[in-house]
Amino acid sequence: IDIKTLRSVTGGMITIDPGYKNTGSCESAITFLDGEKGILRYRGYSIEELAEKADFLEVAYLLIFGELPNKEELKKFHKDITDESHVDEEMKKILDSFPKSAHPMGVLSSLTSALIAFNSSTVDVSSEKDMYEAIVRILAKFPVLVAWTLRKKKGLPLDYGDDTLGYVENIHKMMFKRPNQTYQKNDIVINALDKLLILHADHEQNCSTSTVRIVGSSHAGLFASLSAGISALWGPLHGGANQAVLEMLEAIEADGGDTKKYMAKAKDKQDPFRLMGFGHRVYKNFDPRAKIIKKAADEVLGDLGIDDPILDIAKGLEKEALEDPYFVDRKLYPNVDFYSGIIYRALGIPTEMFTVMFALGRLPGWIAQWREMRLRGEPIGRPRQVYIGEKQRPFVELDLR
Ligand code: ACO
């Protein structure tokens, strides 16, 4: 049934579905997920296979353009991105104007918006070339902004990338290279980072992706839509959960490390506290990404020889929750953010940067969703409401109120 017929047969009836728990906002050919069975596929390929066999740049290409690139396509894609990886020097002044204490997600969202002032932001969506160029431009410049955001926090000089390196290795170098020191590549770290980015690359119509699509549906430009997506991702119920997980673990440690006390808090309905990193809107059995990342977390911690009390608390909580009827009955399992925070900590990424790392991974997904929405010529997103406010009343003059 098409939407016009639907409207005519329902007489303009409105469905109320807070949080859109049962409302589909679009048709999409990008990501398939089955929350009951714990299946996640990008363009038909299982997340397990992609995480094992592909790298992040291949996955980005797959999500955005629909097919895995062949060697030539991948080489060209990487070269085109490398050619665009400069960011206008004036952008540094904008970054400079933020206090060091500014939250990196606010900084990243602002910088992404500011890019519009320095780069053509109007995209003729009927031109594949125009669209390709805009996509390459943001894939190239966004990692620089991410690295600068981290370096500003750490008081390190702002640098550009190394054209000879792979996409993810280059990001790692841009983030961590110290002045007067040779950058040491660590394959375990690069692989873990690559995997994390792949696992976060898309997740169909979540809060930030829906935001990107709805902002883009007004024909606002790509960078503006992405900047809005970054803001949506910031919240602790969405991308901010990985930061919230670590802050929760640190608070538990500071309070003596009693995990049982915090399990009880999470179950107490009078207490707003929730166990961060547990539960998912869609996955009600297990999060397939959490399985992959748990393995990666064990490898990274083992290989880097990290002994960290925070990580022991995480393991304790995981074990207790998996055996507790409250969590089992409500199907509250550790989600991807529970483990990603642990890996980021092991990699030496500051807690406040965790959600920025999520944004870096989600970038190709947002781009793919924006592109699909524009190519399909979707209408402007404009939900309705049921009004519950005052009935009509006469205006009261100021001096009579
Ligand atoms: N700790 C304790 N109880 C919880 C938790 C939790 N983490 N999550 C859900 N519950 C309880 C709720 O209190 C509710 O209990 P009730 O049925 O007795 O009232 C029940 O489980 C269902 O919870 P809802 O909030 O209705 O589930 P919803 O699907 O709307 O929310 C969400 C999912 C937001 C992820 C929730 O589980 C949560 O807040 N988790 C913690 C934050 C988090 O980890 N977010 C990251 C999500 S993944 C991502 O964005 C990539």
Give the pLDDT confidence of 377-388 residue by residue, as tens digits: 999 999 989 899
Mean pLDDT within 256-278: 93
* Ligand 1 centroid distance, CA of 332 (Å): 7
- What pLDDT shows up at residue 285? 79
337 classed as catalytic? yes
- What residue ranges line ligand 1, CB within 6 angstroms? 237-238, 241, 266, 274-281, 330, 332, 335-337
* Residue 1: predicted pLDDT: 65
Of 62, 2, 53, 73, the C-alpha closest to 31 is 62
pLDDT, mean of residues 79-94: 95
Region of residue 232 (phi > 0: left; psi between -120 and 50: alpha; otherwise: beta): alpha
pLDDT at residue 273 above 80?
Answer: yes
This model of the complex carries an ipTM of 0.94
**Whole-number pLDDT of residue 53:** 97
CA 104 – ligand 1 centroid, Å: 25
> Are 279 and 330 within 8 A, CB to CB?
yes
One-letter identity of residue 241:
A
Give 276 Cα–ligand 1 centroid separation in angstroms.
9
**Has 194 been annotated as catalytic?**
no
Average pLDDT over residues 69-85: 97
What is residue 158's predicted lDDT score, i.e. its pLDDT?
Answer: 92
Distance 208 CA to ligand 1 centre (A): 17
Q: In sequence order, which ranges of 281-353 are alpha helices (DSSP H)?
A: 288-304, 309-323, 325-329, 336-346
- For residues 277-285, give the mean pLDDT: 86
Rounded to 10 degrees, the C-alpha dihedral 301/304/310/312 comes to 50
Model pTM score: 0.88
What residue type is assigned to position 205 of the chain? Answer: Q
Structure token digits, residue 120:
């053509």
Which of 78, 203, 280, 287 is flagged as catalytic? 280
Atom 38 in ligand 1: which residue has the minimum CA distance? 279
124-145 tens-digit pLDDT: 888 999 999 999 999 999 999 9
Read off the pLDDT of each residue in 327-344 and give the average, rounded to a whole number.
88
